[in-house]
Amino acid sequence: CPTAADLHSADGTRVCAQLYTDNSPYYDQCCAGDVLVVPPGSDMPYMPLGWSASVSSLVVGTRCELTVWSRKGKNGKSRRFSS
C-alpha cells in the first residue's frame, strides 16, 4: 500500500484517500484491484456504480479524514478513518 504521504495523482495533485477492491492477509498483497481516488473536499453521499460493498482496503492521506456510512445517503452507522 502507498503511505499516507505518498497519495498523489499522476499529475502531482493531492489525493485524500484511495479505496481498493482487493485485500489480502499479507500486507504486500493489499491495496490491489480497482482503485477509487477521493480528492480533497469530496462529498459523495452515494458510492459510484459497482463500488457499493466492494471496498476491501483503503489509505487516507495526511491531513485528511474519510467518513463512511453503513447505508446509502449518509445513513446508518458511520466510521471515520485518518492517516
Give the residue extent of every domain in the chain. Answer: 1-73
Q: Which residue has the cell 445513513?
A: 75
Comparing 5 with 29, which gets the higher pLDDT?
Answer: 5
Q: Cell 456510512 maps to which residue? A: 69
26 Cβ contact partners less than 8 Å away, ≥ 6 residues apart: none
pLDDT at 36: 92
Extract the C-alpha cell encoding 21: 477492491
Instruction: Give tens-digit pLDDT for 23-78.
Output: 777 777 788 889 999 999 999 888 888 888 888 889 999 999 999 998 888 999 99
Per-residue confidence (pLDDT) for residue 50, from 0 to 100? 84
